[in-house]
Structure 1
Amino acid sequence: MKERLYRSLIELTNGRMTSMALGKFARSRLSRPLIKTYAKAYKINQKEMLDDIHHYPNLHAFFIRKLKKDARPIDLKIDTVTSPVDGILENWGIINEDCEMIVKNKSYSIEEMLGGIERSGKYSGGTFMILYLSPAHYHRIHSPLDGKVIESYSLGRKSYPVNRLGLKYGKSTLAKNFRTITELKHGDTTIAMVKVGAMFINSVKIINQKSEWKKGEEAAYFSFGSTVVLLFEKGAFQMEKSLEVPTEVQVGEALGRVIST
């Protein structure tokens, strides 16, 4: 009953017109007076922001704010995989033989998430990690390791919440939401970084068009709270033992290391 009610309410509020209106308002000067309220409500650390809070012309510009150069130290060990975002490590686990991952007792198809068995098959038996960004987090996305971009594409149309309620009551949000997928080749293994759009705002803006990404360099940004899913091939990744779930992580923090296959 709760699940049906949740989905019905989201369908009523997640239309194209609603999304457009919200996006237009956030980018208008009318939203500027809300910046200080937003910063206070979400306890934004203004000391690490690149620009003063008065610099931003609207709420959207503040939302995608940049940080000072040394605000996020990057673990530069050659084999480490670092967090691409500030967020919460919500879950991690093993992708089963049917190319599915189990999150909050729900099964998510990697085949559906990536758009076909040809793309998903290599991740069977591998590892997944889910990093959730709330409205309070820094929303720029960075490369988790040095790698060659072998494919970049987008799937899906509408987006639904990807917070705890969304994962619990939503219908395959991680696999069905608008998402942009980047596959990186690091040594002899492939890593997929799935950037999942959140409710109302589908925008995942890729700003790094280079064929090779360096660990820690900026790659994209979200226009609203959202989620990044990392996928690793079988036997190619070892989780950092000190990490528990759920736990806060920041850009550049080691999540684990790549194991040569």
Structure 2
Amino acid sequence: MIQSIYRLFIELTNGKITSGLIRKFARSKASRMFIPSFSKAYQINQDEMEQKLEEFPTLHDFFTRRLKEGARMPDIDPDSIISPVDAVIEDIGIIEPGHIITVKGKDYSIREMLGKDEKIEKYTDGCYMIFYLSPSHYHRIHSPVTGRVIDQWTLGSKSYPVNKHGLKYGKNTLSKNYRTITEVEHKTGLLSIVKVGAMFVNSIEVIHEGDQLVKGTEMAYFSFGSTVVLLFEKNSIQPLTSLKTPFDIKVGEKIGYLTRKKEDLKG
């Protein structure tokens, strides 16, 4: 019953017109008056912001705020993988045979999430990590590894909530929501960075230029809260055993290590 009511409410309020109005308001000058109360409600750390609170012209600009230089520093170990976002790591696990990941008791299809059949076999038995960004988080996405972008594509139209209730009661939110996928080749394998839009707001702006990514540099940003899913090729990484979900993390903090390829170990 709860699931049915939840889904009905979201379907009624998540139409194209409703989403458009909210997006339009967040980018309007009128939204500026809500910035101080929003900052207070979500206990935003103003000391680390690049701009002062009164300098943001719209609520959207505040959502997508940058931080002062040095506020987030990537781990310097060349073999480390870092968190791409300030977030809560909601789940870590293995991509099961049949291309399934299980989150909050629900199965999600990697086939649906990626939308390209030729991609999915690479990730079977690999590792996945799910990062949830609440409205209080810094919303810019940084590259978790150094590597080369080999593909990038966008799927979906509507976006449902991606918080714990959305993952539990929603309708395949991670594999149905509007999402932009960036596939990266790094020195030990492949990584798909799945950027999932949140309720009402489908704004995922990719800002990196060219096909080279450097660990810790900006690659995209969200408007409002959202989720990032990292899908790693089998035997390409080793997650930190200290990551016990749910786990609060910030951009640049270590989440695992790249593992050496078999041919490297023989040399």
| TM-score between the two structures when normalised by the length of structure 1 | 0.99
Asked if the contact 1:90/1:132 (under 8 Å) is kept, the reply is: yes
Counting matched residue pairs gives 261
| Correspondence list, 1:117-196, <5 A | 117-196=117-196
Cα RMSD, aligned residues only? 0.7
Match of 1:76 in 2: 76
| Correspondence list, 1:59-74, <5 A | 59-74=59-74
Asked if the contact 1:189/1:260 (under 8 Å) is kept, the reply is: no
Match of 1:216 in 2: 216
Is residue 20 of structure 1 aligned with residue 13 of structure 2?
A: no
- Structure 1: distance between partners of 2:137 and 2:77: 25
- Structure 2: distance between partners of 1:79 and 1:188: 10
Which amino acid in 2 is paired with 1:122?
K
Match of 1:204 in 2: 204
**How far off is 1:233 after superposition?**
1.0
Deviating more after overlay: 122-131 vs 207-216: 207-216
Asked if the contact 1:76/1:215 (under 8 Å) is kept, the reply is: no
Percent identity reads 53
Match of 1:250 in 2: 250
Asked if the contact 2:140/2:220 (under 8 Å) is kept, the reply is: yes
**How far off is 1:117 after superposition?**
2.0
Asked if the contact 2:188/2:236 (under 8 Å) is kept, the reply is: no
Q: Which runs of 5+ in 2 are unaligned?
A: 262-267
Moved over 3 A (4+): none
Q: Which runs of 5+ in 1 are unaligned?
A: none
**How far off is 1:104 after superposition?**
0.8
- Structure 2: distance between partners of 1:234 and 1:170: 28
Match of 2:114 in 1: 114
| TM-score between the two structures when normalised by the length of structure 2 | 0.96
Asked if the contact 1:147/1:214 (under 8 Å) is kept, the reply is: yes
Which amino acid in 2 is paired with 1:169?
Y
